[in-house]
Structure 1
Amino acid sequence: MNSKIILAKWTDRFLAWLIDFIIVSTISTTIIFLSFGTIYYEVDDEGLWAENTQYIPASILFFIYWTVLEYKTGQTVGKKILNLRVKNMDGEKPSLKGILLSSFGKSFLLPIDVIMGWVLTNQKRQRVFNKLGDTIIIKIKETEENSGSTYLKD
């Protein structure tokens, strides 16, 4: 374990989330479009936008995306691009329970999770569900990512 853990900035975390949001939203919208032939459909003579009715299915897709990727690799696509990783409080791989809690908060209750995290912050830049799941988001140094690997040309 590395004795120095660099906590990720809120801005980096937001940008990673935004990248992930765009990816999963594109997939979710595509699924709705392929299912209904449009992102706009009629219900009882009133038009409803897909966004209004796909909150739960989209949130479930987000939950699966974050849970699988963060548990298996510690990173989503957004985190990978920004050199961030999910760890437990000791800097080790987090438990499945920790990942499930963290993913639930950002999939279903993100505004509340973030605002309460800012209000109740504990100097570790944790959202409420990060704190409940005993997880932190760290910045990976390039040397950590490639430690132990030396590339030489033949």
Structure 2
Amino acid sequence: MKPPNSDISSKLVLAKWTDRFFAWLVDFIIISSVSTAIIFASFGSLDYELEGNSFWVENIHYIPTSVLFFVYWTVLEYKIGQTVGKKIMNLKIININGKKPSLKGIMISSFGKAFLLPIDVILGWILTNEKRQRIFNKLGDTVVVKTKGQDSVSDIKFLKD
């Protein structure tokens, strides 16, 4: 028989899509500012010219920025479970069992956010499950929850906010 308060610690509140968006927005502003500063320092201005007029040449700056996003999310979410945006919004990424996610799971989740976010989110909304996972969260066995000072729990029950 479980103690009366043990059921409380086994419930995790799933993060709302809006809370996740605002956490992403904070992270986006941070990384975009860093990326812009790097481009400015590298080219002396934000209006740099590259030879050619193809789609790839015109949009080449998105590749290093996406790599920067990928590294940011991977390192912070693997090391502490939160980015600056998630910390501000009181969110944390965990694995499906309520424990610290694996590096592989974090990398899969981060890849979706960094390189394929619109597709990842839209398909996540369409094919959403009871755990409010984006497609790459599902592939990485991760879920985003509201923080309550818990690192891991057993016998988890996910609740929607």
Does 2:103 correspond to 1:96? Answer: yes
Q: 1:98 to 1:44 in 2, by over 3 A?
A: closer
In structure 1, the gaps of 5 or more residues are 146-154
Give the equivalent residue in structure 1 for 2:3.
Answer: none
d(CA) in 2 for partners of 1:109 and 1:56? 12
1:56 counterpart letter in structure 2: I
Matches within 5 A, 1:39-118: 39-44=46-51, 52-118=59-125
Does 2:17 correspond to 1:10? Answer: yes
The Cα of 1:72 is off from its aligned counterpart by 0.1
1:4 counterpart letter in structure 2: K
The Cα of 1:34 is off from its aligned counterpart by 0.1
Give the equivalent residue in structure 1 for 2:30.
Answer: 23
The Cα of 1:45 is off from its aligned counterpart by 8.1
d(CA) in 2 for partners of 1:35 and 1:127? 35
The Cα of 1:102 is off from its aligned counterpart by 0.1
d(CA) in 1 for partners of 2:59 and 2:30? 19
Identity %: 67
Deviation string, structure 1 residues 39-84 (Cα, Å, up to 9, x no partner): 11123487x9x98331100000000000000000000000001110
2:87 counterpart letter in structure 1: K
CA RMSD after TM alignment: 2.0
d(CA) in 2 for partners of 1:53 and 1:127? 26
d(CA) in 1 for partners of 2:67 and 2:119? 18
Q: List, as ranges, runs of 4+ consecutive aligned residues in structure 1 with deviation greater than 4 Å.
A: none
Paired residue secondary structure (2:122): helix
Matches within 5 A, 1:31-42: 31-42=38-49
TM-score between the two structures when normalised by the length of structure 1 = 0.86
d(CA) in 2 for partners of 1:101 and 1:53? 23
In structure 2, the gaps of 5 or more residues are 1-5, 151-161
Give the equivalent residue in structure 2 for 1:148.
Answer: none
d(CA) in 2 for partners of 1:123 and 1:51? 40
TM-score between the two structures when normalised by the length of structure 2 = 0.82
d(CA) in 1 for partners of 2:52 and 2:124? 42
Q: 1:8 to 1:45 in 2, by over 3 A?
A: closer
Paired residue total:
141
Q: 1:106 to 1:45 in 2, by over 3 A?
A: closer
